[in-house]
A and B are shown apart, each in its own frame.
Chain A
Amino acid sequence: MTELCDITLTINGSAHRLSVAPSLVLADLLRETLGMTGTKLSCDQGVCGACTVLIDGKPVAACTEFAFLADGKSVTTIEGVATAPGELHPIQTAFIEAAAFQCGFCTSGMILLLKGLLDREPDPDEATLRQWVSSNICRCTGYEVILDAARRAIKQATVAVS
């Protein structure tokens, strides 16, 4: 029986040892305990995807993920996506080039979702791309610019490989 859980997790490459209540969700751990507010909270129901983070490379809704479940795992938030200090990830660059945001509230979740997809499947077909992107809610852009950014990032990656 545990009142508090001792967990060790890696967040954006840095190890953290923490003692957390089992009922604490990952979103609050990141935002309130660690001050990493790049992960946004919107619906608080695990539906909208604004709080998407990657856990061992897989997109997860941080608002519905108990923090203790991340024990031993590697968490990537928007703060850790850039490839190097001052150097944006290609997906981030593609979002800027495509002007793929308006209010920006869904953007961090979208970028992490796409990173999760492209790390797993570097050249997804259009149906897969749309199926993934449609799982995060954007009220502003109408999605086309987001899809455009994704296609840019895919193209850039395939050019880089070849």
Chain B
Amino acid sequence: MGLEAVMPPVLGGAARGVPELVGLRTRARIARFRLHVPATIPEALAMKARYPNAWFMAGGIDVANRLKTGAAVDDVIYLGKIASLHGVRLSEAGAVIGSTVTHDDIATSSVIKEACGGLAHIWGLIANPRIRFKGTLGGNLMAAEPGYEAAVLLAAADAKLSFADSTTATILTMDQFLTGPAAASGLLESVTIPNDGSRRFVYDRSLKGIAGVAVSASIVGGKVRNARAAVSWAYPRPVAKAVSIPEGTAASDLDAFAGDAAAVWCRDLPVPVGDHLASSAYRRRMIEVKLRRGLAALGAAS
């Protein structure tokens, strides 16, 4: 007796009783949901208040992938029609990026290229072209996946996040966002990268999920100031903090200080994750190596 092929209905996705003979992650598992399309942030927040379990959606990549694993949601609020969430502009505080801006828009933005030295190029190598054209800054941050790169880059940049809820707007530093509740409340409106044009960025990404290290510093009059570093992959959420560089250190001398600075930075790090990709000890070692190299590269590029 042969196996009977079970084909899920294709229009509108599968019913909630998923046939057994489907893959663990497939569009056949996507359950139906109601779609809500607000035109403004207050409308979106009102919809969220009415449907508290609704998911916000921008590019839709993570929503689709989560639904493909069998997760179900009754309501999805699509943010793509809210004009105020688009766009990249320069303000006194720095470069302000709307939460529905795509990675490609960030990488090709003249504002980012001029105001955030090197960051546009780094951003243009996130994931792959298909992801960069669809994936958004807000989706990348709010998905909170350990390997997603927006958080580690913005943490190194000491960026600030603007959230809107029904009563007020909240500004969070990246440190607050990363160490606060797993689910930030409200709707992410924009991210501000503080920069007066002096900040430089270097990023050693991890292609195998070991540890990615982003380093940034302001180079003013050839001197290094406000150096920061952030680590991805090695922890559930990126870890970021300032890098201690002696005041008045010339960027051209950064190579000489990089080893000690990296060692000090890593001294009080939490214990990294150990898994099938790398041991905790290996990740710890790689973080220090990559930070040392990143600081040296920052100095060389300046």
**Which stretch of A22-30, A94-102, A139-147 is in the interface?**
A22-30
Within 8 A of A (CB), among B271-298: none
Chain B residues contacting A44 (CB-CB under 8 Å) are 23, 25-27, 68
**Contacts A21-B12, A24-B12: A3 and B133 contacting too (C-beta < 8 A)?**
no
CB distance A2 to B37 under 8 Å?
yes
Complex interface bits, B110-136 against A, C-beta within 8 A gives 1, otherwise 0? 000000000000000100111101100
Other than the given A1-B35, A69-B80, 14 more pairs (CB < 8 A) read A1-B36, A2-B35, A2-B37, A21-B12, A24-B10, A33-B10, A49-B130, A52-B130, A58-B104, A58-B134, A60-B134, A64-B61, A66-B60, A117-B129
Do residues A32 and B125 form an inter-chain contact, with CB atoms below 8 A?
Answer: no
Asked whether A23 lies within 8 Å of B67 as measured between CB atoms, the reply is yes
- Number of residue pairs spanning A and B whose beta carbons lie under 8 angstroms apart: 96
Q: Which residue of A lies closest to B61 (CB)?
A: A64
A135 in the interface, Cβ–Cβ < 8 Å?
Answer: yes
Q: Which residues of B contact A5 (CB under 8 A)?
A: 35
Q: List 14 A-B contacts (CB under 8 A).
A: A1-B35, A3-B34, A20-B11, A22-B32, A23-B12, A46-B64, A58-B104, A58-B129, A59-B133, A61-B130, A63-B27, A64-B61, A69-B80, A135-B130
- Interface bracket on B: 20 to 34
Please pick, from A21, A63, A117, A132, the residue contacting B13 in the complex, using a CB distance under 8 A: A21
Q: A44-B27, A46-B61 are in contact. Are A21 and B130 (CB under 8 A)?
A: no
A:1-41 near B, CB below 8 Å = 1-3, 5, 20-25, 27-28, 32-33
A-facing residues in B55-92 (Cβ within 8 Å): 60-61, 64-65, 67-68, 76, 78, 80
Contacts of B234 in A (CB 8 A): none
Min Cβ gap A38→B in Å is 17
- In the complex, A1 Cα to B77 Cα: how many Å? 9
**4 closest residue pairs by CB, A with B:** A135-B128, A21-B12, A22-B35, A23-B13
Bound complex: CA of A21 vs CA of B7, how far in Å?
18
Q: Which of B25, B76, B78, B130 contacts A59 (CB 8 A)?
A: B130
- Expressed in whole angstroms, the Cα–Cα distance for A2 and B81 within the complex equals 15
Looking at chain A, what size class is its interface with the partner chain?
35 or more
Give the CA-CA distance A16 to B13 in the complex, in Å.
20
> A22-B34, A24-B11 given as contacts; is B60 within 8 A of A131 (CB)?
no
Is A156 interfacial (CB 8 A cutoff)?
no
Is B251 in contact with chain A by the CB < 8 A criterion? no
Residues of B within 8 A of A65 (CB): 60, 64, 134
The residue in chain B whose Cβ has the minimal distance to the Cβ of A5 is B35
Cβ-based interface call for A153 (8 A): no
